[in-house]
Amino acid sequence: MFSGKIGFIGSGQMATALASGMLSAGLIQKDQLLACDVSSVSAEKFAAVTGGQICPSIAMLTEKADVIFLSVKPQSMAGVLQTLSQVSTSREKLIISIAAGITLATLEAGLGGPGRIVRVMPNTPALVGAGASAFALSQGTQAASANRPSDSQIVRQLLETVGVAEEVPESLMDAVTGLSGSGPAYVYQIIEALSDGGVRVGLPRATATRLAAQTVLGAAQMVLSTKEHPGALKDAVTSPGGTTIAGLHALESGGLRAALMTAVVAATQRAKELGQPPR
Ligand SMILES: NC(=O)C1=CN([C@@H]2O[C@H](COP(=O)(O)OP(=O)(O)OC[C@H]3O[C@@H](n4cnc5c(N)ncnc54)[C@H](O)[C@@H]3O)[C@@H](O)[C@H]2O)C=CC1
Ligand SMILES: O=C(O)[C@@H]1CCC=N1
């Protein structure tokens, strides 16, 4: 259980996934959840899905919340930081940015100096408790004291409630963004393509999609549970002269592995670009 209030500035896809995951896991109740958004459509959708309270302003949310997620697009961050820096109580709050590319230095500069600031890269499977997040702490985060956990412990608790969480040096946050932040979209394309393949060889669509998704889930669980190298697990599926090696040969001819590696590199590069100040 978490006893404080959690606020989201920006109540879109990722905020809704995190909030819903925390509620489903029983970490918080809906009366501990706040959000504010410039779009009333987005705010109302968040309230309808989560039951959280909508605040009319960033100032009001900041007064009430103990932990504040900055969950706007990177392009909207400068304006949010400017508004937040003018709310005197913001310096006491734990501020967690989930924006791709936005550095701790940019967050500190925008908020008027060092503070309780953390950079997190979550992903949308947090909605179903299967998220993969990484976080990097700024110098101004608080250590534990007799009556209070450290900011690091708070962030880890929030993220581990909705999946796995790794603390990483900030220099690796763009790489995390390119891999696990964007990664669910790569895997959805893989599942869709596998399903298309199943339909191509005669399976009904619903059956094909279910089998494809469960195959991805099962293979991922094998990697995590057995701790075997993925190549060794692949070898265990692959009979000499059998069906799997025929399929793997086709994947190699299509450049699947190179395409996935290039996707991670391209997304990492884009995260770096998003963190640059606009020209
Ligand atoms: N969608 C994803 O899978 C992931 C997104 N992120 C990061 O999360 C952040 C949000 O992304 P999404 O949820 O996908 O975007 P989104 O577009 O669904 O949500 C952003 C929300 O912020 C609101 N907003 C814009 N300016 C605002 C302001 N000044 N004050 C209050 N609200 C404002 C928008 O109206 C919108 O509802 C981004 O920085 C993104 O890099 C990180 C990991 C994964
Ligand atoms: O596409 C994006 O920019 C965001 C960041 C990671 C996932 N979605």
- Indicate which CATH number applies to the domain containing 241: 1.10.3730.10
- How far is it, in rounded angstroms, from Cα 187 to Cα 100? 19
Choice from 16, 38, 70, 72 to test ligand 1 binding pocket (greatest atom count within 8 A of CB): 72
Cα–Cα distances in angstroms (integers) from residue 84 to residues 73, 93, 107, 249, in the given order: 16, 11, 11, 54
Q: What is the pLDDT of residue 277?
A: 77
Contact 182, 269 (CB under 8 A): no
Mean pLDDT, the chain, whole residue set: 97
User: What integer is the mean pLDDT of 20-27?
Assistant: 98
Q: Is 246 exposed, middle or buried (0-12, 13-18, 19+ CB in 10 A)?
A: exposed
Q: How far is the CA of 265 from the centre of ligand 1 (A)?
A: 22
Q: What is the pLDDT of residue 234?
A: 98
**Per-residue pLDDT reduced to its tens digit, 182-235:** 999 999 999 999 999 999 999 999 999 999 999 999 999 999 999 999 999 999
User: How many domains does the chain contain in total?
Assistant: 2
Q: Which domain holds residue 58?
A: 6-169
Query: Could you tell me if 196 and 163 lie in one domain?
Result: no
Query: Could you tell me if 99 and 190 lie in one domain?
Result: no
- The count of C-alpha atoms lying within 13 angstroms of the C-alpha of 180, restricted to the half-sphere facing its C-beta, is 20
- How far is it, in rounded angstroms, from Cα 130 to Cα 138? 26
Q: Classify 240 in phi/psi space as left (phi over 0), alpha (psi -120 to 50) or beta.
A: beta
Residue 89 tokens read as 């109580």
- The count of C-alpha atoms lying within 13 angstroms of the C-alpha of 196, restricted to the half-sphere facing its C-beta, is 6
Query: Could you tell me if 227 and 131 lie in one domain?
Result: no
97 C-beta closer than 6 A to ligand 2: no
Query: Could you tell me if 147 and 84 lie in one domain?
Result: yes
User: What integer is the mean pLDDT of 91-107?
Assistant: 97
Q: How far is the CA of 163 from the centre of ligand 1 (A)?
A: 20
Give a yes or no: residue 59 inside a domain: yes
User: What integer is the mean pLDDT of 54-70?
Assistant: 98
Question: Above pLDDT 90, what percent of the chain?
Answer: 97
